[in-house]
Homo-oligomer: A and B are copies of this chain.
């Protein structure tokens, strides 16, 4: 019995619907674990995760999947465009997963979970030597995997590709070079500036409940749909899109410093707006999510920095903030408030750093990863190299590895190639903002009047709706008419921080 292409397409879509269902169930389980699952739930829940993940892995590498790919690929012209992109996505994953020998993959999964707990201990004790043998094994395994997968140009490109498809070492060297050249001297100038913002009023008591009420209000103000989401607390805040009708935000409250909650909420809200506005027609396929780490980060950073830290946003919302707080802003004019929340200061910890210095933190990690995968240095040299680079770019030197090379979780789970996305997100955001201003020249006014719908609409039409239908650089090209260009970020940062710190314009 022969089967028509249309029939095969239908079967394939049913098959990927099933994979999507497993993914959604896993997403809910992870959300739950991070927002309040009881402590004793974890052991057995890990079994559930293991079962569902391995089912998903089996589905992605099955003979059935192979025959869908083989049967449908020659007929792309006859298929719906969503099917074509879905097929390409599945094929990529199939090949990626199939090229690793099963026993090596199993070993790697065990290594990852052991490495994570060793890393935690090592960070706590600030003892790199504990983590070093595991990191060596993780790097070595990933080098082997890169060889299985193959690479073009630089071996590190293959790792980059899994987080930011299409972005290569060549691209990153160029943009990071530009950023380094412009930002490093700017950071130095700021440190020397006598015009520093007064931030003393920040560290006053702001009750959790009130922060929460304000956070909910602000999420609503930026256009987050509460019928398709909710706000919870998590130690490490995140947003997760289970499907476009269920995109959850988390935040964390610190009663002595409200900034984490407010800007964290807006940041995760930016991620959430992306996921809430993916086109309905992608639901049930693997395309129904942000296209890459970097584009995702561009949306969260857009809202955090270009909306949440913008003077016009606070022209509208400062009164509301005052209403929710217990008097800490009463004697603080809005201009002083806005300067304070835009303070920049070189620091050691990436996740606590500000908008201006953040790309430098990322650059350190990029250069180290690239060097590792090009055999330019060994894992044992990392603490020294890390500290040297921090001193060179940021003018600060960690006193121990806990506040240095051991600070991030990423490497312990083998996530090499992930960090650059954070900085790419900044560059994408600034480039998109530059384009947006051509269509919405009254941007500042939209913020000060609270009419943010056109901003959301603009981003939805050009970014959100496509999900994974477009690759990151395709979105940038189609929207801005050019490839990735770091200059927009540099201009934005230079203008903004020169003003805040009253620098002589360069």
Q: Is A246 an interface residue (CB 8 A)?
A: yes
Q: Mark A280-293, 1 if CB is under 8 A from B, else 0.
A: 00011000000000
Q: Which residues of B have CB within 8 Å of A51?
A: 17-18, 21-22
Q: Are A38 and B229 in contact (CB under 8 A)?
A: yes
A111 to B40, CA, bound (A): 39
Given contacts A32-B32, A51-B17, contact A24 B38 (CB under 8 A): no
Contact string against B for A residues 405-418, beta-carbon threshold 8 Å, 1 for contact and 0 otherwise: 00000000000000
Decide yes or no: A29 and B25 within 8 Å by CB, A44-B283, A245-B44 being known contacts. Answer: yes
Contact, CB under 8 Å: A41 / B225: no
Q: Name the B residues within 8 Å of A246 (CB-CB).
A: 37-38, 40-41, 44-45
Please state if A28 and B32 are interface contacts (CB–CB under 8 Å): yes
Question: Does A47 count as interface, using CB distance less than 8 angstroms?
Answer: yes
CB-CB < 8 A to A43: which residues of B? 245
Q: Does A242 contact B (CB under 8 A)?
A: yes
Measured CB to CB, the closest approach of chain B to A185, in angstroms, equals 47
**A313 nearest CB across to chain B (Å):** 26
B21, B32, B50, B242: the one within 8 Å of A41 (CB): B242
A227 adjacent to chain B (CB < 8 Å): yes
Contacting residues of chain A (1-56) with chain B, CB-CB under 8 angstroms: 17-18, 21-22, 24-25, 28-29, 32, 36-45, 47-48, 50-52
Say yes or no: B284 contacts A41, CB within 8 Å.
no
Contact between chains at B18 and A284 (CB < 8 Å): no
Would you give the shortest CB distance from A155 to chain B, in whole angstroms? Answer: 37
Q: Does A226 contact B (CB under 8 A)?
A: yes
Q: Is A324 an interface residue (CB 8 A)?
A: no
Kindly list chain B residues whose C-beta atoms are within 8 Å of the C-beta of A39. Answer: 227-228, 245
**For residue A31, which residue of chain B has the nearest CB?**
B32
Question: Can you list 23 pairs linking A and B with CB atoms under 8 Å apart?
Answer: A17-B47, A17-B51, A21-B50, A21-B51, A21-B52, A24-B44, A24-B45, A25-B25, A25-B48, A25-B52, A28-B29, A36-B230, A38-B226, A38-B227, A38-B230, A38-B245, A38-B246, A38-B248, A40-B225, A40-B228, A41-B242, A41-B243, A44-B246
Which A residues lie at the B interface, using CB under 8 A?
Answer: 17-18, 21-22, 24-25, 28-29, 32, 36-45, 47-48, 50-52, 225-230, 242-246, 248, 283-284
**Known pairs A45-B243, A45-B246 / 19 extra A-B pairs, C-beta < 8 Å:** A17-B51, A21-B50, A24-B45, A25-B29, A25-B52, A38-B228, A38-B229, A39-B227, A39-B245, A40-B225, A40-B227, A40-B244, A41-B228, A43-B245, A44-B242, A44-B243, A44-B246, A44-B283, A44-B284
